[in-house]
Amino acid sequence: MTTSAELGLPALTVAPGGVATATLTVRNDLDIVEAYTFEVVGDCAAWTTVEPARVSLYPGTSETVTVRLAPPRSSTSRAGEFPLGVRVLPVERPDLVRVPETTVTVTPFHELQAALAPRRRRGWLRGRYRASVRNQGNAPTTVAFTPGQAGEDLRFAVTPGKLRLEPGESGEVRVQARTRKLIWFGKPATWPFEVTVGPEERPESKDGKDGRTGSSVPEAAAPAPQKPVLDGEFAQLPIFPTWLLALLAALIALLLAWFALVRPAVRSSAKQAAEQAVVAQQSASPAVPAGAPAGDAPGAPAGGATPGGQAKPGAGKPATGPGGQGGPGAGPAVPGTGQQFSETIDVQTANGAAGTGSYPVPHGKVLDITDIVVANFQGDQGVVTITAGNKTITTIALETFRNQDYHWVTPIQVPEDQTVTANVTCEAPGTPASGKQAATCHELLNVSGTLSDIRRAN
């Protein structure tokens, strides 16, 4: 005397978002009236139900219930084969529990959600974007990014080129759009482009497997997925805008007017004034006899004497006083009165690393900085921070300039034994004029000013 239970199908196939059903037959071979409840066990239990959930059977009778499978269309319904069991629990005789089992195959589906940020960039030569993607399918997917443009005005680079994403996982790549030539004059140009995001296409093997997971996939269960297409735009700016050309033309016209009209008149007036001054000086100077010494003109006292024969006070003695050597105001010299100074700091940094270059001020010296020129001749990407002693002068992004200069009326003073430092963080080496991308970031910092001795009082 026992209870028997049997599922109607040895295997089931269901697609996420769809419904599949199977029958479960329960027979009461006991000599009492028995009630039965049902409990689904296994990986499919979250989206499997039994209808009705409870039956009562007389001795020697049976009844068939429906097992309903409805996996949601989401990344939580993983593709593959999973065991399904239904536990049949007798109420009066729980020791006679039965668990019939079957195999459920969940078919794969591919769904990607992608975005491009920012959608529009402006620049002289290149624009950088971030493409993000999320695998909302139920199977692992290798995602490929394919940029494209209607013409041949842009070149593209994607880093990394592919992403391997598990169900529900997200990833991000960097997309760079670069024009083939600069616009020196004129108006900005706009270049639209597209980035197609989709699973990497791989040929199927002869045994009917897809080559990625090694599991057999029904042909009708894996339709070709739709590939998101991301729209982007790069606005290329001219090196010299139209208003600058108009300003240069106006300046050239003013210079031509100056040379043609104003300058000849100024030169003629200056020449006339000089000739009048010479004539006036010749008419006012007394005649000097031939052979007389230059200092013995009539009425001129010799040796600095006054007409009365007495020497002038202080004649023939060096002048002394405040500010002259040996005078009452003499003392220790202050910094800032030294010789001209110029030093170049060369910093080379590997991709993704940080590097530092510095100039230490010697002991007994003080450096007054008046000019700083920063050269990013390769067009590297990253950040450079310039410090003088314990002061930060500036922090600038490398991609915003090729050459940058700073000048100060009041010098920046760096005391002895302190350093002028350039800290460079390299995100991506640029492309110099040769056209071949550099292997490392390379920046030059030229520091100019005066280097003075510190004279200390005894």
CATH classification code of 112-202+226-236? 2.60.40.2310
pLDDT score of 4: 78
pLDDT score of 321: 38
* Residue from 396, 374, 343 nearest 444 by CA: 374
Q: Are 131 and 175 in contact (CB under 8 A)?
A: yes
DSSP structure string for 115-174: EEESSEEEESSEEEEEEEEEE-SSS-EEEEEEEE-SSSSEEEEEESSEEEE-TT-EEEEE
Phi and psi, residue 400, nearest 5°: -90, 0
pLDDT score of 302: 40
CA distance 389 to 412: 10
Domain ranges in the chain are 3-106, 112-202+226-236, 339-432+439-453
CATH classification code of 339-432+439-453? 2.60.120.1330
With H, G, I as helix, E, B as strand and everything else as coil, classify residue 261. Answer: helix
Residues of the chain with pLDDT under 50: 205-221, 286-333, 335-336
The fold for domain 3-106 equals Immunoglobulin-like (2.60.40)
- Same fold for the domain at 3-106 and the one at 112-202+226-236? yes
* Residue from 440, 271, 453 nearest 362 by CA: 453
Q: SS3 letters for 274-310?
A: HHHHHHHHHHHCCCCCCCCCCCCCCCCCHHHECCCCC
pLDDT score of 188: 84
Q: Residue 294 corresponds to which tokens in the numbers above?
A: 């230059």
Q: Is 278 left (phi over 0), alpha (psi -120 to 50) or beta?
A: alpha
pLDDT score of 405: 93
pLDDT score of 253: 86
Q: Is the pTM of the predicted complex or chain greater than 0.85?
A: no
* Residue from 72, 62, 77 nearest 8 by CA: 62
With H, G, I as helix, E, B as strand and everything else as coil, classify residue 219. Answer: helix
